[in-house]
Chains A and B, each alone.
Chain A
Amino acid sequence: MHIMEGFLPVEHAVGWTLVSAPFVVWSVRAVRSRLDEYPEQRMLLGVAAAFALVLSALKLPSVTGSCSHPTGIGLGALLFGPAAMVLVGLVVLVFQALLLAHGGLTTLGANVFSMAIVGSFVAAAVFRASRAFRFSLAVSVFLAACLGDLATYVTTSVQLAWAFPDPAGGFVASLAKFAGIFALTQIPLAITEGLLTVLVVNALIRFNADEMKSLPLFLARGARA
Chain B
Amino acid sequence: MSRRQNWLVLVAAVLITALPLWLVSAPADGPDGRPGEVFGGADAKAQQAIGEIAPDYKPWFAPILEPASGEIASLLFALQAAIGAGLIGYWLGASVTRDKLRKQAERDKAGAASDPAPEGRAPPPC
Q: Which residues of A contact B (CB under 8 A)?
A: 1-7, 9-10, 43, 46-47, 49-68, 95-102, 104-106, 138, 156, 160, 164-167, 174, 177-178, 181-182, 185-186, 188, 191-192, 195-196, 198-200, 202-203, 206-208
Query: Which chain B residue has the least Cβ–Cβ distance from A161?
Result: B53
Q: Give Cα distance in the complex from A139 to B112, angstroms.
A: 42
Q: Give Cα distance in the complex from A102 to B87, angstroms.
A: 23
Q: Flag if B77 contacts A100 (CB, 8 Å).
A: yes
Q: Give Cα distance in the complex from A52 to B88, angstroms.
A: 11
Q: Give Cα distance in the complex from A100 to B60, angstroms.
A: 19
- Collect the chain B residues with CB atoms within 8 Å of residue A188's CB: 16-17, 20
- Collect the chain B residues with CB atoms within 8 Å of residue A195's CB: 9-10, 12-13, 16
Task: State the Cβ distance, A55 to closest chain B Cβ, in Å.
Answer: 8
Number of chain B interface residues as a range: 35 or more
Q: In residues 47-65 of chain B, which contact A (Cβ within 8 Å)? A: 47, 49-50, 53-54, 57, 59-65
Given the contacts A188-B16, A192-B13, A195-B9, A101 and B63 also touching, CB distance less than 8 Å: yes
Task: State the Cβ distance, A60 to closest chain B Cβ, in Å.
Answer: 5
Query: Any chain A CB within 8 A of the CB of B105?
Result: no
Q: Flag if B99 contacts A50 (CB, 8 Å).
A: no
Q: Which of B9, B62, B88, B91 contacts A5 (CB 8 A)?
A: B62
Given the contacts A57-B80, A177-B53, A188-B20, A66 and B45 also touching, CB distance less than 8 Å: yes
If A101-B67, A105-B64, A199-B13 are given as contacts, then 17 extra A-B residue pairs at C-beta distance below 8 Å, sorted by A number, are: A5-B59, A46-B87, A47-B91, A53-B84, A63-B23, A64-B24, A65-B38, A67-B40, A68-B41, A95-B80, A181-B42, A195-B9, A195-B10, A202-B1, A203-B95, A207-B98, A208-B95
